[in-house]
Amino acid sequence: MESRLSVAGQQVQPILVMFPLGLFAMAVMFDMADLLGGPSILGALAYWNIIAGLLGGLLAALAGAVDMMFVRSPDARRLGVLRSLINMGVLVIFAVILMLRVHTPERVIGGGLFAVEVLALALSIFGAWFAGEIANGRAPAFARAATGNRNY
């Protein structure tokens, strides 16, 4: 699937995806350090990283929606929708984590919510890998089976 939204010849959506991915990864690292006995400010840093990651994720989702408007092939459209659903799922999970942190002192989390945060980060890494495979024209086998096209 080729991106139509570009600046100076570079596709915008793949670049925008990396910002929330890095911010979410840093949030997980800050929370892990906080849970392992670091200063409580690390929980607040993780909280603000999640906020920035959600804002960047919304920009990336908007760029992905612009790209999807120009897709003609039904198989490519299905793969693009699957990519978008994975990315939106990650954003929803981190938004729920953010809402649960609002009422805690110093924005820290417990072990259970940290486990959910790690799973959401793993899903975001999978989503970035999946989007890269689609962009390079190498759709994974499960995605080719879903579209019914063996030659994608």
Selected residue with higher pLDDT from 117 and 1: 117
At residue 144, the pLDDT reads 61
- Look at the block and give the residue holding tokens 């120009």: 70
Domain of 130, in residue numbers? 10-147
Expressed in angstroms, the distance from the first to the final Cα of the chain is 10
User: How do residues 61-88 score in pLDDT, each as one tens digit?
Assistant: 888 888 777 777 777 788 888 888 998 9
Q: Is 122 helix (H, G, I), strand (E, B) or coil?
A: helix
Predicted TM-score (pTM) of this structure:
0.81
Percent of the chain topping pLDDT 90: 38
* Residue 138: inside a domain: yes
Find residue 11's DSSP bridge partners: 6
Residue type, 18: M
* Residue 152: inside a domain: no
CB-CB contact of 3 with 14 (8 Å): yes
* Residue 4: inside a domain: no
pLDDT at 152 over 50: no
* Residue 3: inside a domain: no
Domain count, the chain: 1
User: How do residues 108-118 score in pLDDT, each as one tens digit?
Assistant: 788 888 999 99
User: Which CA distances in Å does 57 have to 90, 112, 121?
Assistant: 9, 24, 13
* Residue 125: inside a domain: yes
* Residue 2: inside a domain: no
